[in-house]
A and B are shown apart, each in its own frame.
Chain A
Amino acid sequence: MRIASRIRLLAGLLTVGLAAAGCGGATVDTGTSSAQPSTGAGSSAPAAGGTVKIAINPWAGYEASAAVIAHLLEDKLGYTVEKKELAEQVSWEGFENGDVDVIVENWGHEDLKKSFIEEKKVAVEAGSTGNKGVIGWYIPKWMADKYPDITDYKNLNKYADLFKTSESGDKGQLLFGDPSYVSNEEALIKNLKLNYKVVVGGSEAALIESATQAQQQKKPLLFYFWDPHWLFNKVELARVNLPPYTEGCDADPKKVACDYAELDLDKIVSKKFADTGGKAYELVKNFQWTNEHQNAVANDITNNGMSAEEAAKKWVDANPTVWAAWIPK
């Protein structure tokens, strides 16, 4: 059965390729690679079966949302889900050639929306996730208590010595996460004339670990972080106030001198998936939950030794009323 359908698919792919060859040149979305029975061929794909390609961006909250959606797609609707480990901006490129169907938690990215949704028309918005997101600079709360004026960015230079590490040399350290995260840090330091150096921890885990240590061992730490995150339930953090966000102050990424905007996190799907994704698309569009929901799942993944699948299953089992509304009729 399965083999036969795959062989048919291969034949189909070849035909597409030949057809493309016949009519003058290949555009990037002709005959995409890897199997994509329901969405790609646009054939009479039944509700059960078909593959949905979900980009996985590297932070626990995202993974939590993706895991729950994937679990529902597989368990309740009978789809196959392919998770693609991709950085945020790289994921968008996947819309163009069919390697990505869904981004489940998008942080702003107005420039990408303009390019991929308005100009190239390969992606569409699929509504809010219900989560409010904000990025910022944080310190452990004990520091805010001890040095009350430290939460104003203007005073950061005064305390730069506290934040020195072997990695930052004679400047203060601003710990950053994954290289692919949304980031204005270099520009902020430059434009606000701060005597700090961005040190890249490389991952969300590095940030969490440092923050935990900073609280337990009363070590000074200034770091990049974001809300929603389960860490706020475990570690008391204080936010450093940068010059407030105003509409358009972050237009030129190299000239940013203001804080991050609070974002309504949303889902983005490929145009093709929106058109032919059927129930899978419906589900993605309907998906909406709260920061608490996300934090619970993310906490299970990160701290309770569960795989993303297990954590998603646990949440789904416990919250049938929440997700029942997402399932397309």
Chain B
Amino acid sequence: MTSQAPPAPPVQAIPPTAPRDAVRPPRWVVPAAGIVAVVAAYLAFRGTATLPHDDDAAPFRFVNDVRAWVDANRNQSPVFLFFVNYIRLFVGGLYDAFLLALQAPGWAGLIGIAAALGWLAGGWRIGLLSGLGFISFGVLGLWEASVATLALVLTAVLLSLVIGLPLGIWAGHSPRLRRLLAPVLDVMQIMPTFAYLAPMVLFFQIGPASGAVATLIYSVPPAIRIAALAMEQVSPTAVEASVSLGATRRQTLFKVELPMARATLGLAVNQTIMMALSMVVIAALIAAPGLGSDIIRGLTRANVGLMLPAGIAIVIMAIVLDRMTMSAAARPPYPVTGGKARIGPRLRWAVAAVLVAAGLALGRVLPAEFPEEWVLRFAAPVNEAVNWAKFSWYDVTDAIRNFITEVLLNPLQAVLTGAPWWLVTAVAVAVAWRTGGLRTAAVAAGCLLATALIGLWQHTMETLTTVLVAVVLTLLIGLLLGVAAARSPRFAAVQRPLLDAAQTMPAFVYLLPALALFGATRFTAIFASVIYAVPPVIRLVEDGIRNVSPAAVEAALSCGSTERQLLWKVRLPLARPAIRLAANQGIVMTLAMVVVGGLVGAGGLGYDVVSGFSQRTDFGMGFAAGVATVLLGILLDRITQGADRRPSPRTSDRTTTRKKRIA
């Protein structure tokens, strides 16, 4: 007798209310009626109950007063004297220490060390990559700036890991702490990087310390999340076996859980570094040293040639650190027997030592500064090329820009800013209710009301417009390419490395081509956020379609479906959770980029934030805009995630899909 139950018969869900179905109106009636009502209400009340922007709103003035108080009491209030200023001192000191440590071996020595670390992490390929990568910092003429950036990244990453890993490990063991942390981390991850620069300046002033703290805030959530995930993934039997043998909690942690979670913890380190790298660029706005400074300089002067070398250096640094940490994490913790002859540990260390020694020795011979004649300067030709492109493609780019602006942006913005605030709120609440239930509706209502209260309704609507247009474009492109990749392995094979590279790049780099082609307008931000958000969307869509149960596909094929029918009737519907997740990711990433786009003409909240920390009188507005951005982020995230959550509880942690594969 088999213990297996016979396959369950297809569930013929006969709803208990079946008889009433006869008198029930068709399903489309309610939404249609809703839409008609909204349109009617809009036409009737357009222009009333709008909340036009006022630079001098009371909440802004309040924040300005707070700032004035802080400014006046920075050296008197005990909170600052004994707490905030010490943090600043400590983090600044840490940065200095890293900087000195990196500068001490000289440039040749540091290249040798980098190559040695690469070699230890992943053999000669990574060693070579790492060595060449570091050399390129010098060749780009950015040695000092790169070292400063590296020091800042290391400072932020070290602090992130020191805080994040224990917290994550603890959260991995304590569901209560996990529940407590989840919303906080959600907010931290939704919060666009820009939003917390102003508070940083308020508390820690400008400089590397506040840059490192800002970076830390940005890079600590993945450390916590992935560390918690790593703990959950450890085989419970192994833990139980350890406990059953009388191991203490400490012994179990250090001898069983941490070693078994090594690969995933490696991913946590990797992600933390990646996040930190994309943040240190933005931190340059508050005088954090390094490559970001050059990029900001290029952005504020619309000078692509200025920022390109720094952009390339950042990308190279990201690739080197990414590959190094990934291969270190993926390295089997023990010698693999069989296969190619392996290099013994002694030889490994010997080679590493030789590399370091060679670097240090060369440093004695070579000049102390990276030789000027080895530096490759290409700002001028790049600017020429950009100018050429700008002028010769002007008609095309201008047409695209104007089309999107006139056809999508302006009408939508007119509707959103012209509609009464209660109507917009009502629609958002209705959508939230449908996708996520009562709680989501309440969150949506709360977010929008708070936005109105802090005096940023109109700018929030402007930003929302930009985000919506960008998201529509992102999803369109993402779906097309994702479906194409899922259907054609050859296409996927071409696309995959491009996506890999794209996802290693810090967000800021995407502003570069956008700025080059479109100047500083709202569309520039849209363009940048589309190229920023499309890669993960493609990936999620592709994976979602690929992971559709082969049995379902087989069944459909055996019924004689065409490829087309298969796609529309089987694959896409079954991939819906993945597509919803893609939409969610797309929205969160787009929002982040649109806000950064405030630097290049995106307007709305992003601009408020930018002017908030560059104009003292607008500090309050900038601060409030940061808050409004977070509120908008939560609103959009909840609405889309609610949609994602409804059919099936999310099983995988968000961070794993957020940025990349677990290789």
Note whether A and B contact each other (Cβ less than 8 A).
yes
Q: Are B617 and A254 closer than 8 Å at their CB atoms?
A: yes
Classify the interface of chain B: helix, strand, loop or mixed: helix
Q: Are B615 and A28 closer than 8 Å at their CB atoms?
A: no
Residue A86 is within 8 A (CB to CB) of chain B in the complex: yes
Q: How far is the CB of A219 from chain B (nearest CB, A)?
A: 12
Shortest Cβ distance from A254 into B: residue: B56
Q: How far is the CB of B512 from chain A (nearest CB, A)?
A: 14
A291 to B358, CA, bound (A): 52
Shortest Cβ distance from B77 into A: residue: A25
Contact of B302 among A27, A32, A183, A202 (CB under 8 A): A202
Contact of B88 among A28, A34, A89 (CB under 8 A): A28
Residue A94 is within 8 A (CB to CB) of chain B in the complex: yes
Chain B, interface size category, equals: 35 or more
Query: Which segment, of A6-14, A144-152, A220-228, A264-272, faces chain B?
Result: A6-14
Shortest Cβ distance from A190 into B: residue: B55
Given contacts A6-B100, A27-B75, A89-B616, contact A200 B607 (CB under 8 A): yes
Given contacts A6-B103, A97-B205, A97-B207, contact A14 B302 (CB under 8 A): no
Q: Are A86 and B74 closer than 8 Å at their CB atoms?
A: no
A179 to B197, CA, bound (A): 15
Q: How far is the CB of A210 from chain B (nearest CB, A)?
A: 9
Contact of B100 among A7, A112, A167 (CB under 8 A): A7
Q: Which residues of A contact B427 (CB under 8 A)?
A: none
Residue B96 is within 8 A (CB to CB) of chain A in the complex: yes
Q: How far is the CB of A165 from chain B (nearest CB, A)?
A: 9
Interface size on A, residues (CB 8 A): 65
Q: Are B615 and A180 closer than 8 Å at their CB atoms?
A: yes
A104 to B81, CA, bound (A): 32
Given contacts A25-B82, A90-B286, A93-B205, contact A166 B302 (CB under 8 A): no
Residue A56 is within 8 A (CB to CB) of chain B in the complex: yes
A90 to B368, CA, bound (A): 33
Residue B457 is within 8 A (CB to CB) of chain A in the complex: no
Given contacts A10-B96, A186-B55, contact A26 B616 (CB under 8 A): no
Q: Are B520 and A200 closer than 8 Å at their CB atoms?
A: yes
Shortest Cβ distance from B90 into A: residue: A17
A166 to B399, CA, bound (A): 11
Q: How far is the CB of B618 from chain A (nearest CB, A)?
A: 9
A14 to B96, CA, bound (A): 11
A109 to B74, CA, bound (A): 22
A254 to B54, CA, bound (A): 10
Shortest Cβ distance from A4 into B: residue: B104
Q: Are A307 and B379 closer than 8 Å at their CB atoms?
A: yes
Contact of B303 among A13, A166, A190, A205 (CB under 8 A): A205
Q: How far is the CB of B200 from chain A (nearest CB, A)?
A: 12
Residue B296 is within 8 A (CB to CB) of chain A in the complex: yes
Residue B522 is within 8 A (CB to CB) of chain A in the complex: yes
Q: How far is the CB of A37 from chain B (nearest CB, A)?
A: 12
Shortest Cβ distance from B402 into A: residue: A166
Q: Are B601 and A94 closer than 8 Å at their CB atoms?
A: no
Residue B95 is within 8 A (CB to CB) of chain A in the complex: yes
Q: Which residues of A contact B252 (CB under 8 A)?
A: none
Residue A262 is within 8 A (CB to CB) of chain B in the complex: no
Given contacts A87-B614, A167-B521, contact A26 B86 (CB under 8 A): yes
A35 to B613, CA, bound (A): 25
Residue B380 is within 8 A (CB to CB) of chain A in the complex: yes
Q: Are A206 and B520 closer than 8 Å at their CB atoms?
A: yes
A195 to B521, CA, bound (A): 20
Residue B476 is within 8 A (CB to CB) of chain A in the complex: no
Q: Which residues of B contact A94 (CB under 8 A)?
A: 206-207, 287
Shortest Cβ distance from A205 into B: residue: B302
Q: Which residues of B contact A190 (CB under 8 A)?
A: 55
Residue B383 is within 8 A (CB to CB) of chain A in the complex: yes
A103 to B581, CA, bound (A): 49
B75-133 residues with Cβ-Cβ distance < 8 A to A are 75, 78, 80-82, 85-86, 88-89, 92-93, 95-97, 99-100, 103-104
Residue A105 is within 8 A (CB to CB) of chain B in the complex: no
Given contacts A3-B104, A93-B205, A166-B402, contact A30 B81 (CB under 8 A): no
A sample of 14 inter-chain contacts (CB < 8 A) reads A13-B93, A27-B74, A28-B205, A32-B92, A34-B92, A58-B301, A90-B613, A90-B614, A97-B207, A99-B206, A166-B401, A178-B300, A190-B55, A203-B520
The 9 closest A-B pairs by CB, nearest first: A25-B81, A33-B92, A180-B614, A202-B520, A205-B302, A87-B614, A26-B85, A58-B300, A305-B380
Interface residues of A (CB under 8 A from B): 2-3, 6-7, 9-10, 13-14, 17, 20-21, 24-28, 30-35, 56, 58, 60, 83-90, 93-94, 96-97, 99-100, 111-112, 115, 166-167, 169, 178-180, 183, 186-187, 190, 199-206, 209, 253-254, 305, 307
- Please give 9 more A-B residue pairs, beta carbons under 8 A apart, in addition to A25-B80, A26-B88, A203-B299: A10-B100, A27-B85, A28-B80, A100-B287, A112-B616, A199-B601, A201-B519, A202-B601, A254-B55
